[in-house]
Structure 1
Amino acid sequence: MKLILLGPPGAGKGTQAVRLSEKHGIPQLSTGDMLRAAVQAGTPVGLKAKAVMDSGGLVSDDIVVGIVADRIEEKDAANGFILDGFPRTVAQASALDRMLSEKGLRLDAVIEFVVDESVLLSRIEKRAADTVARGEKVRPDDNAEAFKTRLEAYRAQTAPLSDYYRKSGDLRPIDAMKSIDEVTREIDTTLAAVSV
């Protein structure tokens, strides 16, 4: 199963990606996680991405497309994958479609997390507080200013993906304002209909 999770920051994509990964035995490919790993490792790509990520901006297409293309070749992605945080632009979506087509692959669904943006900042603040409570380091982009920058970037660059995937017939909107378990059930029901 090859899925994209689409929605603004704080919509719950990461939480649901973990559940989908466990249920279907496919890896969650979060470009954010892959980039953060590169930053932590101090790789050239990581160093380039660090300044952009710390300010809440989006890294360049060439960096992200390269990471994803390499990653889906790994053995654990042979039966599918979940893309979380990619594509972020229509240009990336088009590049992804071409790359998948070249590999003889096609997306099964694009799950869009539909949320009330007015509650997203409080979700981000809660995530940061929960991280601190666990004694872990808060992500540099989990603060109000970086969140506002990320949300503006989402609206300008990523929101148009809804129309792109609606036209291809792959878009599956989910009410992400429900409880975590209710969202999981709605996704499961949607995917069961797709795989029939």
Structure 2
Amino acid sequence: MNLIFLGPPGSGKGTMATAVEKALGIPQISTGDMLRRHMREGTPLGIAAKSYVDKGELVPDDIVIGMVKERLHQPDCRNGYILDGFPRTVTQAEALGAIADIDTVVNFELSDEIIMRRLADRRVCPHGHGTFSAAGLGSEEVCPQCGAVLVHRHDDKEDTVRNRLNVYHTQTEPLIAYYLKSGKFLSIAMEGTVEDNRRTLMQALENAAKE
């Protein structure tokens, strides 16, 4: 299955993408992870993207689209993939439609209030071992897998999150209307536990595959 996961920052779409990746054996393609790696390594792409990401703004299409196209042509995408965080605009969706056939678009719904609370609590392993809740870590905010000190990402700070949500509502939500026309659109409410949300999503994808 070729899937697109939509939803505001902090809605849990990345966590669900990881779950589907394991269940279906298809790669999770996160432009956010790609861009963060480039920024961490100081590549030309990373330097260009950093000024936008730090302000909570969308990275320009010309930085993102070529990278996505190249990634989709890699061998591990032959049986499907999950696009997490792309497309973000109708323009990007139209560009994607020219290079890929999408089977299902999933929109993850969560209120801004809950998102603000979750992101204030989110900590990330700098070595890529996952995302954790500060509330569940106690006084020592270290990765349980590698022992590294966990990071509260700059783009998870309150002012930046508010700006990211504003950008999402203004520029990304029109994708919902765009993809609703395709007849391949699903919405998943994300107020439940991770396991409840995962079960709901997997059942919805199973039903979609039968249609």
The two structures have a TM-score, normalised by structure 2, of 0.87
Match in the other structure for 1:172: 186
The CA deviation at 1:35 is 0.5
Match in the other structure for 1:190: 204
Which one is further off, 135-144 or 158-167? 135-144
| Residue type of the alignment partner of 1:30 | S
1:84-163 pair list within 5 angstroms: 84-100=84-100, 106-128=101-123, 130=134, 133-134=141-142, 135-163=149-177
Higher helix share: 1
In 2, the alpha carbon distance for the partners of 1:46 and 1:171 equals 32
SS in 2 for 1:58: coil
Match in the other structure for 1:29: 29
SS in 1 for 2:155: coil
In 1, the alpha carbon distance for the partners of 2:152 and 2:118 equals 14
Match in the other structure for 1:78: 78
Structure 1 gaps of 5+ residues are 101-105
The CA deviation at 1:117 is 1.9
SS in 2 for 1:112: strand
Aligned residues: CA RMSD = 1.4
Q: In the TM superposition, what whole-angstrom CA distance separates every residue of 1:45-96 from its partner, at most 9, and x where no partner exists?
A: 1110011111111100111111110111112112111111100001101111
Which structure is richer in relative contact order (CA contacts within 8 A, separation 6 or more)?
Answer: 1
| Residue type of the alignment partner of 1:133 | E
Q: In the TM superposition, what whole-angstrom CA distance separates every residue of 1:124-163 from its partner, at most 9, and x where no partner exists?
A: 0111363982222222201001101100000000011111
In 1, the alpha carbon distance for the partners of 2:179 and 2:198 equals 21
In 2, the alpha carbon distance for the partners of 1:191 and 1:98 equals 24
Match in the other structure for 1:181: 195
Which one is further off, 147-156 or 107-116? 107-116
In 2, the alpha carbon distance for the partners of 1:37 and 1:185 equals 31
In 1, the alpha carbon distance for the partners of 2:177 and 2:192 equals 23
In 2, the alpha carbon distance for the partners of 1:6 and 1:108 equals 14
The CA deviation at 1:37 is 0.9
The CA deviation at 1:43 is 1.2
In 1, the alpha carbon distance for the partners of 2:106 and 2:196 equals 15
| Residue type of the alignment partner of 2:54 | D
- How many aligned positions are there? 191
Structure 2 gaps of 5+ residues are 124-132, 143-148
